């Protein structure tokens, strides 16, 4: 009987493991870090500029009616949902930050690195507002200022989260793991067993 690649014949896992599966590659982690830091900085800079220049002003048209700047402060989650759960949202963001950082230690694939970097930037960007802005820590209101027609007002952190989630979904549907290997589908497993 032939053992599957990476496992021993008797099913034990005592053999050496592929280090790519447990430790991030330097390049992927560098991509992750650069994306996270870059998008986080863009988010915080844009929010600072919005508060500085849009407070007390009417809407500023950037591209006619398509894109306008309108300063608002959001105590809730995306689309102003959960406005009464700001503390819970802050705690959830702290947990999510920890999860992304732990998962990032296994990154090898660069698309996953961009996805998790963008996700981390978005989560921590809005978390920073909740921790440092009025009215108090854990209850701070998130600064939103980008407005599209028939769409809730949002910010760069929200864009980052959507990019991250979108890339994660693409990688999951493609069957690409954090280490860059394609996961075997059920049909692949069945056909390989039938050929033995």
Question: Which of these ranges, 15-19, 47-51, 59-63, has the smallest mean pLDDT?
Answer: 15-19
Q: Which residues have C-beta within 8 Å of that of residue 18, sequence separation ≥ 6?
A: 6, 179
How many angstroms separate the Cα of 55 from the Cα of each of 95, 122, 132, 135?
32, 23, 18, 17
Would you name the residues annotated as active-site residues?
144, 158
Can you tell me the distance from the alpha carbon of 76 to that of 153, in angstroms, rounded to the nearest whole number?
12
Q: Could you tell me if residue 9 is inside a domain? A: no
Give the per-residue pLDDT at 196. 54
Q: Could you tell me if residue 13 is inside a domain? A: no
**Residue 183: band (very low, low, confident or very high) from pLDDT cuts 50, 70, 90:** confident
Can you tell me the distance from the alpha carbon of 129 to that of 86, in angstroms, rounded to the nearest whole number?
11
**Residue 105: band (very low, low, confident or very high) from pLDDT cuts 50, 70, 90:** very high
**Residue 61: band (very low, low, confident or very high) from pLDDT cuts 50, 70, 90:** very high
**Token pair listed for 192:** 């390989």
Q: Could you tell me if residue 18 is inside a domain? A: no
Q: Could you tell me if residue 28 is inside a domain? A: yes
Q: Could you tell me if residue 187 is inside a domain? A: no
Is 7 a residue whose pLDDT tops 60?
A: no
Global pTM reads: 0.80
Is 13 a residue whose pLDDT tops 50?
A: no
Q: Could you tell me if residue 188 is inside a domain? A: no
- Dihedral (CA of 36, 41, 46, 51) sign: positive
Give the per-residue pLDDT at 9. 40
Tell me the average pLDDT of the chain.
84
Between 29 and 184, the higher pLDDT residue: 29
Q: Could you tell me if residue 193 is inside a domain? A: no
Q: pLDDT, tens digit, for every residue of 114-143?
A: 999 999 999 999 999 999 999 999 999 999
Is 160 a residue whose pLDDT tops 90?
A: yes
Quote the number of domains for the chain: 1
**Residue 75: band (very low, low, confident or very high) from pLDDT cuts 50, 70, 90:** confident
Between 29 and 188, the higher pLDDT residue: 29
Q: Could you tell me if residue 154 is inside a domain? A: yes
Gyration radius from the chain CA atoms:
22
Residue 81 structural domain? 23-182
Is 84 a residue whose pLDDT tops 80?
A: no
Can you tell me the distance from the alpha carbon of 171 to that of 186, in angstroms, rounded to the nearest whole number?
17
């Amino acid at each position: 009987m032939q053992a599957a690649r990476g496992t021993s014949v008797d099913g034990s896992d005592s053999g050496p493991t592929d280090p790519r599966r447990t430790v991030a590659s330097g390049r992927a982690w560098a991509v992750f870090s650069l994306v996270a830091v870059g998008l986080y900085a863009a988010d915080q800079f844009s929010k600072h500029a919005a508060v500085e220049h849009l407070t007390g002003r009417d809407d500023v048209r950037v591209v006619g009616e398509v894109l306008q700047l309108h300063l608002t402060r959001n105590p809730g989650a995306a689309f102003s949902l959960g406005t009464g759960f700001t503390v819970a949202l802050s705690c959830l963001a702290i947990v999510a930050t920890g999860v992304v950082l732990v998962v990032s230690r296994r990154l090898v694939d660069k698309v996953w690195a961009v996805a998790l970097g963008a996700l981390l930037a978005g989560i921590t960007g809005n978390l920073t507002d909740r921790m440092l802005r009025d009215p108090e820590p854990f209850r701070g209101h998130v600064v939103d200022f980008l407005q599209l027609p028939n769409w809730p007002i949002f910010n760069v952190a929200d864009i980052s989260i959507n990019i991250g989630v979108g890339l994660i979904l693409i990688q999951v549907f493609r069957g690409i793991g954090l280490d860059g290997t394609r996961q075997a589908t059920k049909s692949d497993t069945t056909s390989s067993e039938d050929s033995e």
